[in-house]
Structure 1
Amino acid sequence: FHLLQIPAYVLRMSYINHLSVCRNDISELPPEISLLHRLKHLDVESNLLRRLPLELCLCPLEELKLSLNNLEDPPIEVREKGCHVVLKYLGAQYHGKRTGILDMKSCYMSALPLAIQQLAGPSMHTMDLSDNLMQELPNLRDLSFTRDLRLGSNKLTSLPESIRLLTNLTSLLLPSNLLSSLPFTFVYLTNLTCLNLRANKFVNVPSSVCTLTTITWLDFSENNILVLDSDIRKLENVRELHFSDNGLQAIADEVCDLHQLAVL
């Protein structure tokens, strides 16, 4: 007969280091898998799994066999990188739920998985999704409580108009992407104080940025901006402006009106 779940007595065998339940009809692994404190090899090939429990990250796994399942999460690009990356992916979510800081950098994600979006509740204040492979973002409505969002070193060419829903954002870091413009809804980020757009493809400072008078730190270094125009005067609270490595040919006199400015 085929197992439909891992027997409870197996989960009480905390001393085992190798567990094979391949070629069964198991549809989920229970959170209690974390009780197997010495488990180094887990084979769950050829089952009916759709997701892996976050608690799996608490096992000291060295080998994880997952093929021939119906897995939706972790996504395929994470699974292809092997056991270490899968455990990192699960562990980031496990600890993020407890600390409010979700550190998903360098997880090889080409998109923002639904499982991660669903984690972003009122207690999730910081999300680090940098150094991944994302070319676009989904609707961001589930991230509305986020205060610190880090998306540097991806492959983003645009931001969705739903960015307007992130009204709690105070820090948005987007260096080393492929952005050349911002959506008009960017003006709704009225609590933003720190904006990093270093090493993108901008040829000017978007007017939507200049409407955000809460900004105190702004980085447009390593873009293609030749002229810093008079709209910059609207950033009345800015203390640091970074525009190095742009080839600037002209800076508007109105920069002198920025009385809080300490670094240019």
Structure 2
Amino acid sequence: MHHLQQLHHHHHQPPMMMKKRERNKGMEKERLQVMDLSGMALDSLPKPSLDLATISKLNLSNNNLQEIPESLTARLLNVEVLDVGSNQLKSLPNSIGCLSKLKVLNVSANFIQFLPKTIENCRALEELNANFNKLSKLPDTVGFELINLKKLSVNSNKLVFLPSSTSHLTSLKVLDARLNCLRELPEDLENLVNLETLNVSQNFHYLETLPYSIGLLLSLLELDLSYNNIKTLPHSIGCLKNLKKLSVEGNPLVCPSMEVVEQGLHVVMEYLHHKMNSSDQRPTKKRWWMMKMVKCGTFDKQGRGGKRGEGYNMLKHQNINGLASPGFMGMLSPLRFFSSPRNSFS
């Protein structure tokens, strides 16, 4: 009884104590600093004049830094945004794994060949921009750990494949892997239930096929496959009922033919959907995919998702683009989040 009374007393603190606690929280938030050292031609970092644990946003972009000291990142305990883009970095410190509150990391326009495995400890990370580096691979298990990642931008690198764990990034909304050397995409994409934008354009002669599971990306709005070596689109794409933009220019397409493509997105979708029903693929495999698609709600026998014809009415005002529009390219540009380094933390 005495123990219960203690608990009861704890949950009904006097108003004065509650106000004091709220005031302390407010003061703690105010003490967090924004530090902008961008564009200062720094070859090395000056000795900080303040406690690194008080920094919430640190901008070191557009300098000449060749390394980030291990001791520096290890002490950035409250940093949420870290921008080291446009430097001369060849690697990142292992202590980056200490940044448990990090939400946005920009390492674009450097010479980084690999990301340290410890980056998997940054479990609060929501945006990772590693465009314009020399990455040949990503950490194998990265998808199992960065469960809060919403945007992954790795364009303009030397990636030959994405790790299979990528398919476990269930919060991911944008995946930009254009301008690499991708030979294939992970087979099991169906877990990317929140993915809205997938850009794997300009992998040129390397990328020849796409996994059938691409038809299970329930939230997909924009799919850019332009300038690859794809001859046949998976018929499952016809079941992407929310798709509003499909870019396929620069591929040696046979199925669907360019004559079909030129008639617009709704015609392409109807063509692929029809192909799904009359496909010659092995019955066992076809039945397996059909079961998956019905289960996920992307496919039913009456039409392209939902009531008969509903999908096509919705698609009448949509079109297919051979190349993504300037607006779309701008959205995926590495400059989108860090276009003005001096103002990016304002």
Q: Indicate if the aligned counterparts of 2:217 and 2:240 stay in contact, CA closer than 8 A.
A: yes
Instruction: Measure, in 1, the Cα distance between the counterparts of 2:159 and 2:67.
Output: 32
Q: Indicate if the aligned counterparts of 1:215 and 1:235 stay in contact, CA closer than 8 A.
A: yes
Mapping 1:41-52, distance limit 5 Å: none
Deviations 1:166-215 (A, max 9, x none): 11101100001111212223221111111000012222332121221211
Question: Residue 109 of structure 2 corresponds to which residue in structure 1?
Answer: 106
Secondary structure at the aligned position of 1:241 is classed as strand
Instruction: Measure, in 2, the Cα distance between the counterparts of 1:64 and 1:255.
Output: 49
Instruction: Measure, in 1, the Cα distance between the counterparts of 2:115 and 2:102.
Output: 20
Following superposition, the deviation at residue 232 of structure 1 comes to 1.8
Mapping 1:86-97, distance limit 5 Å: 86=89
Flag the 1:254–1:100 CA change in 2: closer, same or farther, 3 A.
Answer: same
Following superposition, the deviation at residue 236 of structure 1 comes to 1.0
Which of 234, 255, 259 is equivalent to 2:269?
255
Q: Indicate if the aligned counterparts of 2:66 and 2:87 stay in contact, CA closer than 8 A.
A: no
Question: Residue 194 of structure 2 corresponds to which residue in structure 1?
Answer: 191
Question: Residue 168 of structure 1 corresponds to which residue in structure 2?
Answer: 171
Q: Indicate if the aligned counterparts of 1:162 and 1:185 stay in contact, CA closer than 8 A.
A: no
Instruction: Measure, in 2, the Cα distance between the counterparts of 1:221 and 1:183.
Output: 19
Question: Residue 230 of structure 2 corresponds to which residue in structure 1?
Answer: 225
- For structure 2, which runs of at least 5 residues remain unmatched after alignment? 1-44, 51-55, 74-85, 261-266, 271-303, 305-310, 321-346
Question: Residue 132 of structure 2 corresponds to which residue in structure 1?
Answer: 131
Question: Residue 121 of structure 1 corresponds to which residue in structure 2?
Answer: 123
Following superposition, the deviation at residue 62 of structure 1 comes to 7.6
TM-score normalised by length of structure 1 = 0.62
Flag the 1:229–1:187 CA change in 2: closer, same or farther, 3 A.
Answer: closer
Question: Residue 337 of structure 2 corresponds to which residue in structure 1?
Answer: none
**Is 1:240 the counterpart of 2:245 in the alignment?**
yes
Deviations 1:93-136 (A, max 9, x none): 7xx98873211111211101245443x332x2111011111111
Q: Indicate if the aligned counterparts of 2:239 and 2:269 stay in contact, CA closer than 8 A.
A: no
**Is 1:207 the counterpart of 2:212 in the alignment?**
yes
Instruction: Measure, in 1, the Cα distance between the counterparts of 2:116 and 2:234.
Output: 39
Instruction: Measure, in 1, the Cα distance between the counterparts of 2:59 and 2:198.
Output: 33
TM-score normalised by length of structure 2 = 0.49
Flag the 1:231–1:160 CA change in 2: closer, same or farther, 3 A.
Answer: same
Instruction: Measure, in 1, the Cα distance between the counterparts of 2:113 and 2:67.
Output: 22
Following superposition, the deviation at residue 155 of structure 1 comes to 0.9
Say what the alpha-carbon RMSD is for the aligned residues: 4.0
1:177 counterpart letter in structure 2: N
Instruction: Measure, in 2, the Cα distance between the counterparts of 1:227 and 1:151.
Output: 25
Q: Between Structure 1 and Structure 2, how many residues are aligned?
A: 199
Instruction: Measure, in 1, the Cα distance between the counterparts of 2:123 and 2:133.
Output: 22
Deviations 1:40-94 (A, max 9, x none): xxxxxxxxxxxxxx99977xx989899xx9x7999xxxxxxxx9535x978xx7x
Q: Indicate if the aligned counterparts of 2:67 and 2:92 stay in contact, CA closer than 8 A.
A: no
Instruction: Measure, in 2, the Cα distance between the counterparts of 1:203 and 1:65.
Output: 38
Q: Indicate if the aligned counterparts of 2:174 and 2:198 stay in contact, CA closer than 8 A.
A: yes
Flag the 1:104–1:255 CA change in 2: closer, same or farther, 3 A.
Answer: same
Secondary structure at the aligned position of 1:172 is classed as strand
Instruction: Measure, in 2, the Cα distance between the counterparts of 1:196 and 1:144.
Output: 20
Following superposition, the deviation at residue 254 of structure 1 comes to 5.4
Instruction: Measure, in 1, the Cα distance between the counterparts of 2:64 and 2:268.
Output: 60
2:197 counterpart letter in structure 1: C
- For structure 1, which runs of at least 5 residues remain unmatched after alignment? 1-30, 37-53, 75-82
More helix by share: 2
1:121 counterpart letter in structure 2: R
2:319 counterpart letter in structure 1: V
